[in-house]
Chain A
Amino acid sequence: MKRSTVLTEKNRIKWATVFSFLIILPVALSVAGFAFSRGQEVEVFLEATDPRWESCYRDTEYMRYHHMDLLRDIREDVVRYGIRGGITLAGCGDCHTNRDQFCDRCHEAGSVRLDCFGCHYYPERASERELAKASLAVQALQDGR
């Protein structure tokens, strides 16, 4: 008696189907997704240019692909060797004021978990600040009356 799990002449088509579903389909989908996403370059969110910074630390292309290396190097300098006063994570927030748009958008798309903001402060999200401003204005109006 032959077991059906063995590849034979008869059940060749069945196994070809199983194989294609298990392996070829996911691979093909990921390749297609990668090829599709290559064409899309997201524009960097820059709300306002802070006068304290003349320009970004490096050019956009470098920052896009190597900001993590840069941050890691700075961290090493600050934590281990006490070299402070240069670029900081909070300094990025002077110009790129919206964490939602600047960090989380790409990190969510790439499903790369960010672990910075459990400890480090990043300026409040732009929408929240607008809300705070609006509520302050309302308060001032009410106080005036």
Chain B
Amino acid sequence: MDRRDFLKKSGAALAGASGALSLPVISSCTAETASADSVLEGKRWGMVIDLTRCREGCTACMDACREANNVAFHDDPRWDVHWIRRATIKPKDESYGLEEKSVLLMCNHCDNPPCAQVCPVQATYKREDGIVVVDHHRCIGCRYCMIACPYNARFFNFKHNPDWPNKQYPQRSHGVVESCNFCAHLLDLGRRPACVEACEGVGAGALIFGNLNDRTTEVSQLVTGGFVKRIREDWGTKPKVYYIGL
């Protein structure tokens, strides 16, 4: 959008909003972010993780992610990088009848991402289709985002990664922060994330992925149907990774 278009649109938005006396400032801001010729427009990617279908001890999605995205594994918890990982959640108080659960954790791709808010160089940002990505060219490795992220989804590259299984996709160099990006490079070409394909490959189908803006997709039907929970919704981060059976 050029300057002329922006002025036109924001002027129209201001005029409309001032007539209705409702938040003219916010309307003018939304006019600024709308872009006409974008391949990302109209999409809002989201994932539902069905823990009732997820198999305990299965590592298909994690292995596929490591393979496809060259995620570093040094076999040392200090330096390992995880884009998707499994954690065991224990209840604080067992008197409520809660059980231990094995949960897949990943970047939640918040609609209100704390990591993007604190990034001093705007290397972390939310794309127009809602994916929170890191521009590794810009990242200076300050690790503010790792502190800001309430889900501990971000990892720092303390070391160079010697493995490079997928040459089609770049590595991350030493000194940048990384996290899951919903395989944005595959989505842009019309494919689906590696973990989702792997999960269907083993026949579990626990990861359901799709466009939340499209009412016909399974994801949006599950989400609007109210079968889902998100992790710590009270924080107001509005994650786009939903859980069934959490």
Contacts and interface: CB of A to CB of B under 8 A. Distances in A.
B167 interface: yes
B102 interface: no
B26 interface: no
Tell me if B's interface is mostly helix, strand, loop or mixed. loop
Tell me if A's interface is mostly helix, strand, loop or mixed. loop
Contacts of A82: 38-40, 127-129, 184, 187-188
Contacts of B137: 75, 79
Interface in B130-188: 133, 135-137, 164, 167-168, 170-174, 184-185, 187-188
A34 interface: no
Interface in A80-98: 80-85, 90
Contacts of A90: 168
B240 to A, nearest CB: 16
Contact of A119 (B39, B173, B188, B189): B173
Contact of B39 (A83, A118, A120): A83
Contacts, number: 43
B129 A120 contact: no
A119 B187 CA distance: 21
Question: What's the interface size class on B, roughly?
Answer: 20 to 34
Interface residues of A, number: 13
A38 to B, nearest CB: 32
A84 B185 contact: yes
A18 B171 CA distance: 52
User: Which 7 interchain pairs have the tightest Cβ spacing?
Assistant: A118-B173, A119-B170, A82-B188, A121-B167, A84-B188, A120-B170, A119-B171
26 contacts: A75-B137, A80-B127, A80-B135, A81-B39, A81-B40, A82-B39, A82-B40, A82-B128, A82-B129, A82-B184, A82-B187, A83-B39, A84-B185, A84-B188, A84-B189, A85-B188, A85-B189, A118-B171, A118-B174, A119-B136, A119-B170, A119-B171, A119-B172, A121-B164, A121-B170, A121-B171
Given A81-B40, A120-B170, A121-B168, 18 more contacts: A80-B127, A81-B128, A82-B38, A82-B129, A82-B188, A83-B39, A84-B188, A84-B189, A85-B188, A85-B189, A90-B168, A119-B170, A119-B171, A119-B173, A120-B171, A121-B164, A121-B170, A121-B171
Interface of B: 38-40, 125, 127-129, 133, 135-137, 164, 167-168, 170-174, 184-185, 187-189
